[in-house]
């Protein structure tokens, strides 16, 4: 009885660790961890486990920056990086 209880507890903890990034993704824009239902864009971009496997944008950031697809977010991200780079090099 004790071995099966230990196995069940270990298996459930392992499942929580593996599926935590899908249940609570991190917004790629604001970097906050939120529940899954607060995201409008959520796509798998690689086969890895963890937060780097998914690209997610929350509803708040989608409304704020008028984003509807992952391609629009990638375009916005590249423009933001260019602006930051130019501002750093001017000063």
Rg (CA), the chain: 18
With beta carbons less than 8 A apart as the criterion, state whether 41 and 13 touch. no
Sequence-distant (6+) residues with CB within 8 A of 44 are: 53, 54
| pLDDT digits (tens), the chain, 91 positions | 689 999 999 999 998 888 888 889 999 999 999 999 999 998 888 888 788 888 999 999 999 999 999 999 999 999 999 999 999 988 6
CA distances from 68 to 3, 9, 33, 52, 65 (A): 49, 40, 20, 21, 9
**pLDDT at 56 (0 to 100):** 93
| pLDDT for 45 | 87
CB 65 within 8 A of CB 90: no
């Amino acid at each position: 009885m004790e071995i099966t209880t230990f196995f069940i507890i270990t298996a459930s903890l392992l499942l929580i660790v593996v599926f935590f990034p899908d249940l609570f993704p991190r917004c790629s824009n604001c970097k906050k961890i939120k529940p899954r239902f607060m995201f409008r864009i959520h796509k798998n971009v690689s086969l890895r486990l963890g937060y780097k496997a998914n690209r997610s944008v929350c509803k708040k950031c989608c409304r704020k920056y008028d984003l509807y697809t992952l391609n629009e977010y990638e375009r916005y991200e590249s423009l933001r990086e260019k602006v930051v780079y130019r501002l750093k090099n001017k000063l």
